[in-house]
Amino acid sequence: MPIRKVMKANEAAAWAAKLAKPKVIAAFPITPSTLVPEKISEFVADGELDAEFIKVESEHSAISACVGASAAGVRTFTATASQGLALMHEILFIAAGMRLPIVIAVGNRALSAPINIWNDWQDTISERDTGWLQFYAENNQEALDLILIAFKVAEDERVLLPAMVGFDAFILTHTVEPVEIPDQELVDEFLGEYVPKHAYLDPSRPITQGTLAFPAHYMEARYTVWEANENAKKVIDEAFAEFEKRFGRKYQKIEEYRTDDAEIIFVTMGSLAGTVKEYVDMLREKGVKVGVAKLTVYRPFPTEEVRELAKKAKVLALLEKNVTFSVGGALFQDFSRALINEKEKPVIVDFILGLGGRDVTFKDLDEALGIAQKALAGEEFDEVNWIGLRKEIL
């Protein structure tokens, strides 16, 4: 029987790692994800998890150790956030290029300067072009489940790409919620043992990993990463379906909430989706036709699903906790790209809000709704809007 425990998302991530039985975990503590390696080191020390826990001197070393371990042929896990993920940056490309199915749990946190330990998505969004798969959790249960699913997808022969699972700093990492811990046997059946096909060490099979590629081969090697990302779309759907069958919890690349007959659809990710669902419930009672779409998967970008979603609404209001300078948010780019050649497309309005842990309140959402309604009515509106900005101190 699965047990229910009250825990933080950090603990849920550690539990997911324990259930996935990685052989090597290398991690460096960083707020707000410190508790993940702490908890895992406890599991290892108590003999509950048979794994090598490597203590390293930086995140750059943590991910490097993971690359080494994964290249040797074992399931590998680490956790980090913010500046730590940024420090891993160059190795993230190497992990994806070498097609190593490492999984990282990321406590989504703002980037310096100024120093800020609270939540936004700038850290993982900044790594969107590394080739890694990206999942975003709405609550602690999803943090646990998505890490298991991430392993499943990453290790699939058609994919073989590393994956990161983001959960919002403090809003999830340090907030307790009831989380169902699935049975070990069921997880074992779901994930299976990781049997590496390409990357493993065997003296009778001498190979070179992480080679130099001349111009004659580099482009093809990069294309295989592109291809693997494309393949991942189908594999993710399969993994979601199998997960639902075994554990009863349903996941979709884009989860829709009250979008039927909606005129304005708020699009968001992570824990903000919960807030917006609450807000939409309130508006629906007043008869306002609004809905929510939550991206559970951000890379590979669910282009087809976005196009389907776009058919349902007149206005897509993107709520983003990240900035792409002079453009707006990352989702704004991605949605614009996905819809640019569609014959009929909704108006897209971008909202940047909640950066660095700023609370997103109903008042903020009212402000966003007001602008979205202007767009709906065909009035003039700004494409990119900073919500809740304290203009008086500028």
Partner 1 sequence: MAESPFKAEIERVQKEYSEKMTPGAIAVIPGSSVVNKTGSWRVFMPEFNRDKCVRCYLCYIYCPEPAIYLDEENYPVFDYDYCKGCGICANECPVDAITMVREVK
Give contact residues for partner 1 (rule: CB under 8 A): 97-100, 160, 197-199, 206-209, 211, 213-214, 217, 220-221, 224
Tell me which residue of 245, 156, 152 sits closest to 197, measured CA to CA: 156
Return the DSSP state at 77: E
Nearer to partner 1, 158 or 284 (CB): 158
- Phi then psi for residue 306, to 5 deg, are -65, -40
Nearer to partner 1, 214 or 325 (CB): 214
Is the separation of the CB atoms in 117 and 109 below 8 Å? yes
Nearer to partner 1, 227 or 278 (CB): 227
For residue 89 the two structure tokens come to: 């940056």
Q: What's the rounded Cα separation, in Å, for the pair 318 and 384?
A: 10
Give the list of residues 6+ apart from residue 253 with CB closer than 8 angstroms, or none: 233, 236, 237, 240, 295, 296, 297, 302, 305
How does strand 297-299 pair with strand 384-386? unpaired
CB of 342 to partner 1, least distance (A): 34
Q: What's the rounded Cα separation, in Å, for the pair 87 and 278?
A: 36
Return the DSSP state at 154: H
Nearer to partner 1, 219 or 377 (CB): 219
CB of 169 to partner 1, least distance (A): 32
Place of tokens 């979709």: 252
Nearer to partner 1, 231 or 324 (CB): 231
In one letter, which amino acid is 206? P
Nearer to partner 1, 6 or 221 (CB): 221
CB of 303 to partner 1, least distance (A): 24
Nearer to partner 1, 209 or 303 (CB): 209
CB of 236 to partner 1, least distance (A): 19
Give the list of residues 6+ apart from residue 133 with CB closer than 8 angstroms, or none: 150, 153, 154, 159, 161, 162, 163, 164, 229, 232, 236, 297, 299, 300
CB of 205 to partner 1, least distance (A): 8
Return the DSSP state at 328: B
Nearer to partner 1, 99 or 277 (CB): 99
CB of 225 to partner 1, least distance (A): 9
Tell me which residue of 16, 355, 29, 31 sits closest to 169, measured CA to CA: 31
Nearer to partner 1, 216 or 340 (CB): 216
Nearer to partner 1, 200 or 381 (CB): 200
Is the separation of the CB atoms in 171 and 358 below 8 Å? no
Whether residue 114 has a cis bond before it, omega within 30° of 0? yes
For residue 28 the two structure tokens come to: 């460096």
CB of 239 to partner 1, least distance (A): 19
- Phi then psi for residue 206, to 5 deg, are -65, 125
CB of 228 to partner 1, least distance (A): 8
CB of 146 to partner 1, least distance (A): 24
3-class DSSP state for residue 74? coil
CB of 199 to partner 1, least distance (A): 6
- Phi then psi for residue 61, to 5 deg, are -70, -35
Nearer to partner 1, 208 or 326 (CB): 208
CB of 381 to partner 1, least distance (A): 46
Q: What is the sign, positive or negative, of the torsion defined by CA atoms of 88, 92, 95, 97?
A: negative
